[in-house]
């Protein structure tokens, strides 16, 4: 399918932390996927309104955060550090604010390198504001223009990795999650979302090329993680969220089809599937991101990571220090342990990988579909499908099959009230037509008018092949 | 008399085609609209009970609520003729600066399914949006949603604006991942709903309806 019709990784033992078939070397010589796992820190503001009047206080927060985490990373002899700046909506809407804060952090990173030798790299992740208007306008207008301007100016300033949690299709996906509607999920992710990803990442790739920086990757955060959070709250079944995760990989894959080379964005729990397909390094988050959200994937997420992230933490005071400093310390110790296992050889790394996988997989369907073995099976189903829509169907059916087999084998616990959802999902997918055009017609006929603008996704114009 | 038990069951199972058809048939047969409403509400109460017992998930509750809503479209004109009104009127939205709407939508659907008239002002809603909708529709309740810690202050300013606009008798219920009862107390909200299903109970309590 598309740029990928084979897998970069074909054996589960090769889908493990710290090593990727296509590692990425940063300007400072950090080799992601080259045998070390690097910490990736992300921090955000405490409870504060963001406007011109509060910008002086906001500058101080970011200065305090970056100086603190760099100091601690140097003290703990981190092999390198990824600093992610994920903007809050006003910082994208006023790109000059986002740029100013970026410069504060880049300057501090340069200073730390000069003084301590600490290597670091900056990941720029503008908040995707395009859904601020409903229905979202995806390809033009102030939200689109300001977002591109922020990417462009921060890449020029030295942001080496470009990422985003893009939202194309979310206006449809949210309701599909609420209603447990797998056909709507596939339409939002694999028809609408895929088209937005292609448009967005072709633009980002131009910016990256111009400034000689890297497109890193996207995430189905607003999709798969929304499902995960809803499942954690027992709003939707975990089996449904597990299937959504598998399908979400089809959407996130498009960034790599358009030129992204990793490290994949941390909150993309679908990244093991993408690492198997693309061979690029992936950032992941799990137990050390409990500050941002809970998940049933605390250990298993680390099993295939090349960078290990805390997702985000507010700049608030904890007993030992400010929270970002505490979290960078935790990440560094997590990475130190993984790197010790890697240094001890393949068998040691595999043993640790096995513990990470087995400690989570049996307890939750969402973890079970992400074991290296199962991620490879979903990845294989995706690359052998004829197009993204069919890949979504194949990923869903494969996930259902894996969960049924796993439950029967006692490898994953699925309660009775969730098991019947596997039947519902399977029946829902099997009822869908094989032809994407027929599927689009079917969906457009049932979507409430005004909920989304098909033209903003190039629908009715350019079928994705 | 048409089988109102079957109508309740259709609501529980989310069979909207059956529910709408049987509502219409019951009306044609001359059944008291208030009894039909009782059957529909009874179905919603049963699906709510199943949810609270962890036997079903929210999508199943929402599918039932959708069947209820569509049946109500058939029933409402006849209820109005008989002087039966929705139990309360609510305005709901996500506060300014925040685009998250799943929680807000869930609550709105649950309220609609409980015979509450709901006006949704959407996401990124300014205080004046809530005030305007509440005044125009004589709302009993305003629901405020936020998912970000950075938009929680907008909840506080919205509550202040609502009170400053003279809507002192309108009950304000807040919800969202970072929100707590303590925060509701701090900003002067009348209630805090931790989830969509119990948001019905919180609304009913706030406006003095029996649960």
Asked if the C-beta of B56 comes within 8 angstroms of chain A's C-beta atoms, the answer is yes
Residue among A108, A210, A224 nearest A153 (CA): A210
Tell me what pLDDT residue A461 has.
46
How far apart CA A157 and CA A338 sit, in angstroms, is 33
Q: Given B99, B150, B152, which is nearest A131 (Cβ)? A: B99
How far apart CA A377 and CA A372 sit, in angstroms, is 9
CA distance from start to end of chain A: 8
Contacts of A134 in chain B (CB under 8 A): 122-123
Task: Quote the mean pLDDT of chain B.
Answer: 91
Tell me what pLDDT residue B48 has.
85
A–B: how many Cβ contacts below 8 A?
A: 68
From A29-38, B16-25, B88-97, B196-205, the region with the lowest mean pLDDT:
B196-205
3 state SS of A58:
helix
How far apart CA B173 and CA B143 sit, in angstroms, is 5
Q: Are the beta carbons of B150 and A177 separated by less than 8 Å?
A: no
Give the β-pairing of A31-34 and A19-25: antiparallel
Asked if the C-beta of A417 comes within 8 angstroms of chain B's C-beta atoms, the answer is yes
From A319-323, B9-13, B44-48, the region with the lowest mean pLDDT:
B44-48
Residue of chain A with shortest Cα separation from B59: A179
**What tokens does B203 get?**
């609304």
Q: What is the pLDDT of residues A214-225, one digit of tens each?
A: 999 999 999 999
pTM for the structure as a whole: 0.89
Asked if the C-beta of B195 comes within 8 angstroms of chain A's C-beta atoms, the answer is yes
Torsion angles phi and psi, residue A314, rounded to 5: -75, 150
| CA of A451 vs chain B CAs: smallest distance (Å) | 12
Tell me what pLDDT residue B147 has.
85
- Residue of A47, A143, A294 best to disrupt the B interface, most CBs of B under 10 A: A47
Residue of chain B with shortest Cα separation from A50: B150
A308, β-bridge pairs: A39, A284
How far apart CA B97 and CA A49 sit, in angstroms, is 9
Q: Contact at 8 Å (CB) between B67 and B19?
A: yes
Q: Are the beta carbons of B196 and A235 separated by less than 8 Å?
A: yes
Q: Are the beta carbons of B59 and A88 separated by less than 8 Å?
A: no
**What tokens does B101 get?**
């709407």
CA distance from start to end of chain B: 28
Tell me what pLDDT residue A349 has.
98
Q: Given A48, A230, A235, which is nearest B150 (Cβ)? A: A48
Average pLDDT over residues B174-182: 91
| CA of B82 vs chain A CAs: smallest distance (Å) | 32
B93, β-bridge pairs: B144
**What tokens does A114 get?**
């000069």
CB atoms within 10 A of CB A91: 26
How far apart CA B110 and CA B103 sit, in angstroms, is 11
Tell me what pLDDT residue A356 has.
98
Q: Are the beta carbons of B97 and A47 separated by less than 8 Å?
A: no
A84, β-bridge pairs: A42, A123
Q: Where does the pLDDT of residue B211 fall: very low under 50, low under 70, confident under 90, or very high at 90 and above? A: low
Q: Are the beta carbons of A235 and B106 separated by less than 8 Å?
A: yes
For A163-221, the DSSP string reads E----TTHHHHHHHHHHT-HHHHHIIIIIIIHHHHHHHHHHHHHHHHHHT-EEEE---I
Asked if the C-beta of A419 comes within 8 angstroms of chain B's C-beta atoms, the answer is no
Cα–chain center distance at A113: 28
Torsion angles phi and psi, residue A23, rounded to 5: -70, 160
For chain A, which residues score pLDDT lower than 50? 461-465
Tell me what pLDDT residue B149 has.
78
Asked if the C-beta of B123 comes within 8 angstroms of chain A's C-beta atoms, the answer is yes
Q: Are the beta carbons of A175 and B105 separated by less than 8 Å?
A: yes
Q: Where does the pLDDT of residue B83 fall: very low under 50, low under 70, confident under 90, or very high at 90 and above? A: confident
Please determine, for residue B177, whether its predicted confidence score (pLDDT) is greater than 90.
Answer: no
Residue of chain B with shortest Cα separation from A127: B99
How far apart CA A221 and CA A295 sit, in angstroms, is 13
How far apart CA A419 and CA A38 sit, in angstroms, is 38
Residue among A51, A41, A226, A227 nearest B150 (CA): A51
**What tokens does B125 get?**
């809603």
Contacts of A239 in chain B (CB under 8 A): none
Asked if the C-beta of A174 comes within 8 angstroms of chain B's C-beta atoms, the answer is yes
Q: What is the pLDDT of residues A362-400, one digit of tens each?
A: 999 999 999 999 999 999 999 999 999 999 999 999 999
How far apart CA A265 and CA A124 sit, in angstroms, is 11
Asked if the C-beta of A230 comes within 8 angstroms of chain B's C-beta atoms, the answer is yes
Q: Which of residues 21-50 of B touch A (CB under 8 A)?
A: none
Average pLDDT over residues B153-180: 94
Q: Which of residues 68-107 of B touch A (CB under 8 A)?
A: 97, 99, 101-102, 105-106
Helix (H) or strand (E) holding A326: helix A323-343
Calculate ∠ Cα B102-B108-B113, nearest 5°: 125
What's the sign of the alpha-carbon dihedral A1, A240, A423, A359?
positive
Helices B152-164 and B127-137: crossing angle, nearest 10°? 40
Q: Given B55, B59, B177, which is nearest A179 (Cβ)? A: B59
Tell me what pLDDT residue B210 has.
65
């Amino acid at each position: 399918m598309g740029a990928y019709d084979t897998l970069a990784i074909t054996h589960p033992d090769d889908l493990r932390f710290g090593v990727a078939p296509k590692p990425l070397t940063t300007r400072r010589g950090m080799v992601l996927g080259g045998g070390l796992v690097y910490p990736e820190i992300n921090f955000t503001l405490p409870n504060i309104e963001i406007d011109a009047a509060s910008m002086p206080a906001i500058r101080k927060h970011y200065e305090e955060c970056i100086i603190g985490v760099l100091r601690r990373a140097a003290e703990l002899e981190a092999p390198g550090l990824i600093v992610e700046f994920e903007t809050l909506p006003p910082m994208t809407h006023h790109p000059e604010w986002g740029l100013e804060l970026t410069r504060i952090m880049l300057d501090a990173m340069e200073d730390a390198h000069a003084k301590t030798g600490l290597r670091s790299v900056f990941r720029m992740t503008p908040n995707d504001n395009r859904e601020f208007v409903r229905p979202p306008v995806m390809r033009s207008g102030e939200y689109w223009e300001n977002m591109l301007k922020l990417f462009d100016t921060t890449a020029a300033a030295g942001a080496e990795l470009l990422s985003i949690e893009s939202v194309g299709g979310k206006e449809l996906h949210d309701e599909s999650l609420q209603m447990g509607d797998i056909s709507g999920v596939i339409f939002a992710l694999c028809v609408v979302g895929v088209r937005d990803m292609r448009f967005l990442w072709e633009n980002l790739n131009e910016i990256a090329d111009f400034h000689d920086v890297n497109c890193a990757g996207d995430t189905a955060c607003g999709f798969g993680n929304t499902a995960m959070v809803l499942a954690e709250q027992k709003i939707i079944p975990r089996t449904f969220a597990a299937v959504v995760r598998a399908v979400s990989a089809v959407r996130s894959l498009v960034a790599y089809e358009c030129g992204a080379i990793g490290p994949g964005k941390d909150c993309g729990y679908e990244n093991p599937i993408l690492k198997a397909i693309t061979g690029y390094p992936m950032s992941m988050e799990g137990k050390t991101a409990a500050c941002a959200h809970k998940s049933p994937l605390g250990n298993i997420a680390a099993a295939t990571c090349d960078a290990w992230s805390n997702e985000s933490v507010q700049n608030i005071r904890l007993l030992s220090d400010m929270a970002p400093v505490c979290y960078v310390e935790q990440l560094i110790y997590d990475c130190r342990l993984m790197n010790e296992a890697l240094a001890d050889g393949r068998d040691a790394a595999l043993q640790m990988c096995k513990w990470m996988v087995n400690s989570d997989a049996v307890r939750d369907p969402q973890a079970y579909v992400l074991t290296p073995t199962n991620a490879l099976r979903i990845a294989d189903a995706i690359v052998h499908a004829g197009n993204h829509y069919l890949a979504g169907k194949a990923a869903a059916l494969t996930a259902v099959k894996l969960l049924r087999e796993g439950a029967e084998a006692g490898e994953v616990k699925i309660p009775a009230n969730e098991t019947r959802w596997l039947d519902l999902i399977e029946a829902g997918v099997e009822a869908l037509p094989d032809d994407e055009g027929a599927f689009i017609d079917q969906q457009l006929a049932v979507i409430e008018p005004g909920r989304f603008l098909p033209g903003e996704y190039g629908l009715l114009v350019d079928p994705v092949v | 008399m048409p089988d109102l038990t079957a109508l309740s069951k259709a609501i529980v199972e989310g069979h909207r085609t059956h529910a709408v058809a049987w509502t219409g048939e019951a009306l044609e047969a001359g059944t008291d609209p208030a009894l039909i409403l009782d059957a529909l509400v009874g179905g919603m109460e049963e699906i709510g009970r199943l949810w609270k017992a962890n036997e079903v998930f929210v999508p199943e509750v929402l599918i039932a609520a959708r069947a209820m809503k569509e049946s109500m479209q058939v029933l409402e004109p006849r209820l109005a003729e008989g002087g039966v009104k929705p139990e309360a009127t609510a305005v709901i939205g996500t506060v300014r600066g925040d685009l998250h709407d799943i929680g807000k939508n869930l609550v709105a659907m649950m309220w609609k399914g409980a015979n509450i008239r709901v006006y949704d002002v959407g996401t990124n809603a300014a205080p004046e949006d809530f005030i305007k909708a509440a005044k125009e529709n004589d709302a009993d309740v305003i629901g405020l949603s936020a998912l970000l810690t950075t938009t929680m202050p907008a909840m506080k300013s919205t509550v202040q604006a609502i009170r400053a606009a003279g809507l002192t008798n309108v009950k304000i219920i807040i919800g969202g991942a970072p929100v707590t009862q303590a925060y509701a107390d701090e900003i002067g909200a009348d209630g805090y709903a931790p989830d969509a299903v119990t948001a019905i109970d919180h609304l009913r309590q706030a406006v003095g309806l029996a649960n």
